[in-house]
Protein backbone atom coordinates (compact mmCIF):
# COMPACT_ATOMS: atom_id res chain seq x y z
CA UNK A 1 0.00 0.00 0.00
CA UNK A 2 1.18 3.53 -0.53
CA UNK A 3 0.12 6.83 0.98
CA UNK A 4 -0.28 10.06 -0.96
CA UNK A 5 -0.91 13.38 0.77
CA UNK A 6 0.11 17.00 0.59
CA UNK A 7 2.68 18.14 3.16
CA UNK A 8 0.91 18.07 6.53
CA UNK A 9 -1.66 15.58 5.23
CA UNK A 10 -0.75 13.00 7.86
CA UNK A 11 1.17 10.40 5.85
CA UNK A 12 3.59 9.79 8.72
CA UNK A 13 0.85 9.39 11.34
CA UNK A 14 -1.29 7.08 9.19
CA UNK A 15 1.80 5.17 8.09
CA UNK A 16 2.51 4.27 11.72
CA UNK A 17 -1.09 3.49 12.66
CA UNK A 18 -1.65 1.35 9.56
CA UNK A 19 1.64 -0.43 10.00
CA UNK A 20 0.73 -1.35 13.60
CA UNK A 21 -2.70 -2.54 12.49
CA UNK A 22 -1.61 -4.61 9.48
CA UNK A 23 1.81 -5.68 10.72
CA UNK A 24 3.39 -4.26 7.58
CA UNK A 25 6.55 -2.21 7.67
CA UNK A 26 6.20 1.59 7.51
CA UNK A 27 8.73 3.21 5.19
CA UNK A 28 8.76 7.01 4.94
CA UNK A 29 10.78 8.29 1.99
CA UNK A 30 11.17 11.64 3.78
CA UNK A 31 12.65 9.89 6.84
CA UNK A 32 14.97 7.71 4.74
CA UNK A 33 16.19 10.81 2.89
CA UNK A 34 16.55 12.84 6.12
CA UNK A 35 18.54 9.94 7.57
CA UNK A 36 20.95 10.13 4.64
CA UNK A 37 21.18 13.90 5.03
CA UNK A 38 22.03 13.53 8.73
CA UNK A 39 24.63 10.87 7.97
CA UNK A 40 26.37 13.49 5.82
CA UNK A 41 27.33 11.15 2.97
CA UNK A 42 27.91 12.85 -0.42
CA UNK A 43 24.40 11.85 -1.55
CA UNK A 44 23.09 12.96 1.85
CA UNK A 45 24.57 16.42 1.47
CA UNK A 46 22.77 16.78 -1.85
CA UNK A 47 19.53 15.56 -0.29
CA UNK A 48 19.83 18.12 2.52
CA UNK A 49 20.02 21.00 0.04
CA UNK A 50 16.83 19.91 -1.77
CA UNK A 51 14.92 19.25 1.45
CA UNK A 52 15.89 22.61 2.92
CA UNK A 53 14.38 24.38 -0.10
CA UNK A 54 11.33 22.14 -0.21
CA UNK A 55 12.29 20.84 -3.66
CA UNK A 56 11.93 17.21 -4.65
CA UNK A 57 15.12 15.20 -4.43
CA UNK A 58 16.14 13.95 -7.93
CA UNK A 59 14.66 10.57 -8.81
CA UNK A 60 18.00 8.80 -9.18
CA UNK A 61 19.07 9.70 -5.63
CA UNK A 62 15.64 8.72 -4.28
CA UNK A 63 15.84 5.29 -5.95
CA UNK A 64 19.44 4.72 -4.85
CA UNK A 65 18.56 5.41 -1.22
CA UNK A 66 15.10 3.85 -1.10
CA UNK A 67 15.52 0.55 -2.96
CA UNK A 68 17.88 -0.94 -0.34
CA UNK A 69 15.22 -0.22 2.31
CA UNK A 70 12.13 -1.33 0.36
CA UNK A 71 13.56 -4.53 -1.16
CA UNK A 72 14.15 -6.35 2.16
CA UNK A 73 10.79 -5.10 3.51
CA UNK A 74 8.93 -6.71 0.59
CA UNK A 75 10.74 -9.94 1.31
CA UNK A 76 9.59 -9.76 4.96
CA UNK A 77 5.97 -9.46 3.88
CA UNK A 78 4.53 -6.12 2.91
CA UNK A 79 5.10 -2.46 3.47
CA UNK A 80 3.36 0.86 3.71
CA UNK A 81 5.18 3.45 1.66
CA UNK A 82 4.70 7.03 2.76
CA UNK A 83 5.92 9.77 0.44
CA UNK A 84 6.92 7.59 -2.48
CA UNK A 85 6.22 7.77 -5.38
CA UNK A 86 5.84 11.52 -5.56
CA UNK A 87 6.12 12.05 -9.32
CA UNK A 88 4.66 10.21 -12.32
CA UNK A 89 8.13 9.08 -13.48
CA UNK A 90 8.78 7.64 -10.01
CA UNK A 91 5.44 5.80 -10.20
CA UNK A 92 6.27 4.40 -13.67
CA UNK A 93 9.69 3.18 -12.60
CA UNK A 94 8.27 1.71 -9.40
CA UNK A 95 5.60 -0.12 -11.42
CA UNK A 96 8.29 -1.61 -13.70
CA UNK A 97 10.39 -2.74 -10.77
CA UNK A 98 7.26 -4.20 -9.16
CA UNK A 99 6.44 -6.18 -12.30
CA UNK A 100 9.96 -7.54 -12.53
CA UNK A 101 9.93 -8.61 -8.89
CA UNK A 102 6.36 -9.89 -9.13
CA UNK A 103 5.11 -7.47 -6.46
CA UNK A 104 1.52 -6.30 -6.43
CA UNK A 105 0.41 -2.91 -5.21
CA UNK A 106 -2.91 -3.33 -3.41
CA UNK A 107 -3.94 0.28 -2.89
CA UNK A 108 -2.91 3.90 -3.15
CA UNK A 109 -4.48 5.84 -0.29
CA UNK A 110 -4.95 9.58 -0.79
CA UNK A 111 -5.34 11.53 2.45
CA UNK A 112 -7.29 14.62 1.54
CA UNK A 113 -7.02 17.70 3.79
CA UNK A 114 -8.06 21.32 3.07
CA UNK A 115 -5.11 23.62 2.45
CA UNK A 116 -5.77 25.90 5.46
CA UNK A 117 -5.60 22.90 7.79
CA UNK A 118 -2.37 21.71 6.14
CA UNK A 119 -0.68 25.05 6.76
CA UNK A 120 -1.85 25.13 10.40
CA UNK A 121 -0.50 21.64 11.03
CA UNK A 122 2.86 22.37 9.40
CA UNK A 123 3.36 25.63 11.27
CA UNK A 124 2.63 23.80 14.54
CA UNK A 125 5.21 21.10 13.71
CA UNK A 126 8.24 23.32 13.11
CA UNK A 127 10.58 20.98 11.21
CA UNK A 128 13.41 22.94 9.51
CA UNK A 129 11.47 22.86 6.20
CA UNK A 130 8.28 24.09 7.92
CA UNK A 131 8.87 27.85 7.50
CA UNK A 132 6.06 29.80 5.79
CA UNK A 133 7.98 30.30 2.50
CA UNK A 134 9.16 26.70 2.24
CA UNK A 135 5.67 25.42 3.16
CA UNK A 136 4.18 27.52 0.35
CA UNK A 137 6.71 26.07 -2.08
CA UNK A 138 6.14 22.46 -0.95
CA UNK A 139 2.37 22.87 -1.38
CA UNK A 140 2.97 24.17 -4.89
CA UNK A 141 5.28 21.24 -5.69
CA UNK A 142 2.54 18.89 -4.46
CA UNK A 143 -0.11 20.57 -6.63
CA UNK A 144 2.10 20.61 -9.75
CA UNK A 145 4.04 17.38 -9.53
CA UNK A 146 2.50 14.94 -7.05
CA UNK A 147 -1.24 15.46 -7.43
CA UNK A 148 -1.31 13.93 -10.98
CA UNK A 149 -0.59 10.63 -9.20
CA UNK A 150 -4.10 10.75 -7.74
CA UNK A 151 -5.68 10.46 -11.19
CA UNK A 152 -3.09 7.93 -12.31
CA UNK A 153 -3.91 5.55 -9.44
CA UNK A 154 -7.65 6.21 -9.81
CA UNK A 155 -8.07 5.96 -13.61
CA UNK A 156 -5.11 3.98 -14.93
CA UNK A 157 -4.61 1.58 -12.04
CA UNK A 158 -8.04 1.54 -10.40
CA UNK A 159 -6.64 1.24 -6.87
CA UNK A 160 -7.18 4.72 -5.42
CA UNK A 161 -8.77 5.01 -1.98
CA UNK A 162 -9.54 8.65 -1.15
CA UNK A 163 -10.35 9.54 2.45
CA UNK A 164 -11.23 12.71 4.34
CA UNK A 165 -8.11 13.16 6.46
CA UNK A 166 -9.36 16.19 8.40
CA UNK A 167 -10.58 13.86 11.17
CA UNK A 168 -9.01 12.24 14.26
CA UNK A 169 -6.20 9.84 13.24
CA UNK A 170 -7.89 6.64 14.52
CA UNK A 171 -11.10 7.50 12.66
CA UNK A 172 -9.10 7.88 9.44
CA UNK A 173 -7.35 4.55 10.02
CA UNK A 174 -10.73 2.84 10.59
CA UNK A 175 -12.06 4.34 7.37
CA UNK A 176 -9.01 3.20 5.38
CA UNK A 177 -9.29 -0.30 6.81
CA UNK A 178 -13.01 -0.51 5.94
CA UNK A 179 -12.36 0.71 2.40
CA UNK A 180 -9.53 -1.79 1.89
CA UNK A 181 -11.77 -4.61 3.13
CA UNK A 182 -14.49 -3.51 0.65
CA UNK A 183 -11.89 -3.55 -2.10
CA UNK A 184 -10.64 -7.02 -1.35
CA UNK A 185 -14.22 -8.33 -1.09
CA UNK A 186 -15.05 -6.77 -4.45
CA UNK A 187 -12.00 -8.34 -6.09
CA UNK A 188 -12.93 -11.69 -4.59
P1 LIG B 1 6.12 16.41 3.58
O2 LIG B 1 5.16 15.49 2.91
O3 LIG B 1 5.56 17.13 4.74
O4 LIG B 1 6.80 17.34 2.61
P5 LIG B 1 8.18 14.31 3.73
O6 LIG B 1 8.98 13.89 4.92
O7 LIG B 1 7.34 13.31 3.06
O8 LIG B 1 7.29 15.54 4.27
O9 LIG B 1 9.18 14.95 2.63
C10 LIG B 1 10.10 15.93 2.97
C11 LIG B 1 11.04 16.23 1.79
O12 LIG B 1 11.76 15.03 1.43
C13 LIG B 1 10.37 16.68 0.50
O14 LIG B 1 10.12 18.07 0.48
C15 LIG B 1 11.43 16.28 -0.55
O16 LIG B 1 12.52 17.18 -0.54
C17 LIG B 1 11.96 14.96 0.02
N18 LIG B 1 11.26 13.76 -0.51
C19 LIG B 1 10.52 12.86 0.20
N20 LIG B 1 10.06 11.88 -0.60
C21 LIG B 1 10.49 12.15 -1.85
C22 LIG B 1 10.35 11.52 -3.12
N23 LIG B 1 9.65 10.39 -3.28
N24 LIG B 1 10.94 12.11 -4.20
C25 LIG B 1 11.64 13.24 -4.07
N26 LIG B 1 11.83 13.89 -2.92
C27 LIG B 1 11.27 13.36 -1.80
pLDDT in tens, 1-11: 999 999 999 99
Task: Say which range, 30-34, 57-61, 77-81, 82-86, has the weakest mean pLDDT.
Answer: 77-81
pTM: 0.95
Q: What is the pLDDT of residue 100?
A: 84
Distance 170 CA to ligand 1 centre (A): 24
Task: Detail the DSSP E strand segments found in 55-159.
Answer: 79-82, 108-112
**10 Cβ below 6 A of ligand 1:** no
When pLDDT is averaged across residues 172-186 and rounded to a whole number, the result is 95
Of 2, 6, 3, nearest to 138 (Cα)? 6
Q: Report the pLDDT averaged over residues 74-98.
A: 92
CA-wise closest residue to 111 among 185, 181, 1, 6: 6
| Closest to 11 measured CA to CA, from 90, 108, 78 | 108
What gap in Å lies between CA 5 and CA 118, rounded to an integer? 10
pLDDT-based confidence at residue 92 (cuts at 50, 70, 90):
very high
Does the beta carbon of 54 sit less than 6 angstroms from any atom of ligand 1?
Answer: yes
Mean pLDDT, all residues of the chain: 95
How confident is the model over 88-103, as a mean pLDDT?
Answer: 90
**Each residue's pLDDT tens digit, 18-43:** 999 999 999 999 999 999 999 999 99
Q: What percent of the chain has pLDDT over 90?
A: 88
Specify the length of the chain in residues: 188
CA distances to 19, 65, 78, 94 from 101, rounded to whole Å, are: 22, 18, 13, 10
Nearest-CA residue for atom 3 of ligand 1: 7
State phi, psi for 71 to the nearest 5 degrees: -55, -50
pLDDT at 137: 98
At 97, which helix (H) or strand (E)? Answer: helix 88-100
How far is the C-alpha of 157 from the C-alpha of 162, rounded, in Å? 14
pLDDT greater at residue 71 or residue 170: 170
Amino acid sequence: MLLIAAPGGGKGTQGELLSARFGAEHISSGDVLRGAAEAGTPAGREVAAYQRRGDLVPDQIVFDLLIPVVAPATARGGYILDGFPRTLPQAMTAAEIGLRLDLTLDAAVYLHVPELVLVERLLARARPDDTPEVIRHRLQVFADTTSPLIDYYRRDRGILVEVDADQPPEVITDEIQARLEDMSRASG
